[in-house]
Structure 1
């Protein structure tokens, strides 16, 4: 389980260290940095697939995603005696992402490239990348370490293995050096990160993929667009979670049940509701009803990930559906670690009633910088960044 998430210089997250529990809710007003935190977690996942550079490019490049404020905000500025002013930079440009867990920790440091003749001179480079044992970085606990283009891994005796290897500056050592014999710990960390699952806003418009019939195959993991929702629900129906599926539907829509119709291999979703003479197809369902069924398919997955991250799952749901959704989230947290980004007070209240362990993190913004409400310097989880 992840115990700490650390982000530095990513958008408004100038320096944030968050404690994580089995089920963590991140909340706050609009514009406080919730979406940035969600994106930071996705960037960490992308790094394990060598996709962080492309992900940063989609956000406008490294320069667009960096903290836009000054390096430091002095006491006189915080007290309102002087305006915020830019000062000469004393540290190298750096965007850092990392996490600590029960077994392993990982950190990556992106920076600007060394000037050279290329048309790709805006691609960020990995300046430092480290994997260590335990939740907190210590030089003695390093398992694999990368400075620039040089990578060192430990052998089976625990000693650093000979001469350092080389790596391209835009590649991650998680994708290039994860080997079951040479660097098994890197392989374990990489596969755990790659198992992370993210769900953002499902489409429920009239042309949404979830409203279409599709060829059905066993689907233990709901796709990100929700187009395979019928196959995912039928997979749940044929798993150990069949009763939980029926309960989730009945709790939200009393007296209702769902069926999946197989027409020559194409799967169609049907919702039977009390009082209607015929079931409703996915194309006929309201946006909120379809979205709730999508959350059932996502949260009752028979193949639980290491980490499941939900971004504003309450979107388009009627308040009456929030308690059933909270029960689904609490049930999923028994099998996987969850991070829920939400600004819905009713959903959080419902989670507090049904979740055995719930950690709530409230984000606030001051002088453009995201901070954790009530967290002082001494309240932050222990965290140390590997130096360049």
Structure 2
């Protein structure tokens, strides 16, 4: 489980350090930084996939994702004595992301390239990376380090061994130095990060794949777009918990049940609702009902991830469905760490009533995202 999440220099997240639990709910007003927090976690996951630099490019490049305010905000500015003004920069331009748990921690520092003749001169580059044991980086517990093109790994004897000297500035050591012989810990951590799952903005419009029959194969992990919904639900029924699935549907839609039909290998969801003479096909379901089925398939996965992040799961849902959704999320959090980013205060209140839930409320001060009532979490960034 991730115990600490650290983000510095990303959009409004000038310097944020969060303590996480098994179930975490992130709330705040519009513009407080919830979406930035969600995207920052996704960027961390992209490191393990080897896509961190292209992902930043899709967001408009490093210059558009960096913290746009001054490097530091003086106390006199916060007290309203002086206005916000630009100051001379003391540290290099940097976007830093990291996390740590009971066993491993990881951090990456991304900066500006050295000007040269390449046409890719505007691409951000990876300056440093570090992997360590325990929750806080220190000189004695670091076992993998990258500076520029050079990456080193500490061997079993405690001595450093050179892993690479020609690492490209757009490549992470997590993808290029993870070796079962020399970098087994890197390999373990990389696979954990690749297992993180993100669900947001399921399509429920008329042309959504979830509304149409799809070829069905065993699907222990539903796709991010929910196109394999029927196969995912049938997989839960066969190798997951059919009882939990039935109870979840009945909790949200009393007296209702779902079935999966198969025609020449094409699977489709049909739902029998209380009072109707025939079941409704997925194409006939309301947006909110279909979205709830998608969330059910995601949260009851028979192959739960180490981390699942839900962004605005309440979209299109009737208020009456928020309490059942909170109970479904609580059930899933017993086997996977969950972060919920939500605008719906009733959903946040339902989750906050659980003893295992950690509430994280964001607010904006002078353009910077601040965590309300947040204790400063110990953290060290790797030096360039």
TM-score w.r.t. structure 1 length? 0.97
The alpha carbon displacement at 1:187 in A equals 0.3
Q: CA RMSD in A?
A: 1.1
User: What's the CA shift string for 1:280-301, capped at 9, x where partnerless?
Assistant: 0010000000000000000000
**Matches of 1:33 and 1:190, distance apart in 2:** 27
Contact kept? 2:107, 2:129, Cα under 8 Å? yes
User: What's the CA shift string for 1:160-211, capped at 9, x where partnerless?
Assistant: 1258633111100000000111110000110000000000111111111110
In structure 2, what is the equivalent of residue 252 of structure 1? 252
In structure 2, what is the equivalent of residue 88 of structure 1? 88
**Matches of 1:39 and 1:182, distance apart in 2:** 32
User: What's the CA shift string for 1:244-292, capped at 9, x where partnerless?
Assistant: 0000111111110000000010001100011111100010000000000
The alpha carbon displacement at 1:154 in A equals 1.3
- Inter-CA distance 112–271: structure 2 relative to 1 (3 Å threshold): same
In structure 1, what is the equivalent of residue 122 of structure 2? 122
**Matches of 2:51 and 2:292, distance apart in 1:** 31
- Secondary structure of 2:132's counterpart equals strand
The alpha carbon displacement at 1:342 in A equals 1.0
1:386 aligns with 2:355: no
- With 148-157 and 123-132 compared, the bigger mean Cα shift is at 148-157
In structure 2, what is the equivalent of residue 54 of structure 1? 54
The alpha carbon displacement at 1:26 in A equals 1.0
**Matches of 1:318 and 1:109, distance apart in 2:** 42
- Secondary structure of 2:160's counterpart equals coil
In structure 1, what is the equivalent of residue 24 of structure 2? 24
How do residues 99-248 of structure 1 correspond to structure 2 at under 5 angstroms? Answer: 99-162=99-162, 165-248=165-248
- Secondary structure of 1:166's counterpart equals coil
How do residues 273-352 of structure 1 correspond to structure 2 at under 5 angstroms? Answer: 273-352=273-352
How do residues 69-88 of structure 1 correspond to structure 2 at under 5 angstroms? Answer: 69-88=69-88
- Extract unaligned runs of 5+ from structure 1: none
In structure 2, what is the equivalent of residue 2 of structure 1? 2
In structure 2, what is the equivalent of residue 362 of structure 1? 361
The alpha carbon displacement at 1:139 in A equals 1.4
- Secondary structure of 1:188's counterpart equals helix
**Matches of 1:129 and 1:176, distance apart in 2:** 12
- Secondary structure of 2:361's counterpart equals strand
- Extract unaligned runs of 5+ from structure 2: none
The alpha carbon displacement at 1:80 in A equals 1.9
User: What's the CA shift string for 1:296-334, capped at 9, x where partnerless?
Assistant: 000000011110000011111111101111111011111
The alpha carbon displacement at 1:156 in A equals 2.3
**Matches of 1:115 and 1:101, distance apart in 2:** 37
In structure 2, what is the equivalent of residue 373 of structure 1? 372
**Matches of 1:333 and 1:63, distance apart in 2:** 37
- Secondary structure of 1:110's counterpart equals strand
User: What's the CA shift string for 1:218-248, capped at 9, x where partnerless?
Assistant: 0011111111000000001112310000001
TM-score w.r.t. structure 2 length? 0.98
- Secondary structure of 1:41's counterpart equals helix
**Matches of 1:88 and 1:349, distance apart in 2:** 44
**Matches of 1:78 and 1:141, distance apart in 2:** 37
**Matches of 1:83 and 1:240, distance apart in 2:** 58
- Inter-CA distance 50–178: structure 2 relative to 1 (3 Å threshold): same
The alpha carbon displacement at 1:27 in A equals 0.9
**Matches of 1:224 and 1:338, distance apart in 2:** 16
Contact kept? 2:23, 2:333, Cα under 8 Å? yes
**Matches of 1:197 and 1:74, distance apart in 2:** 38
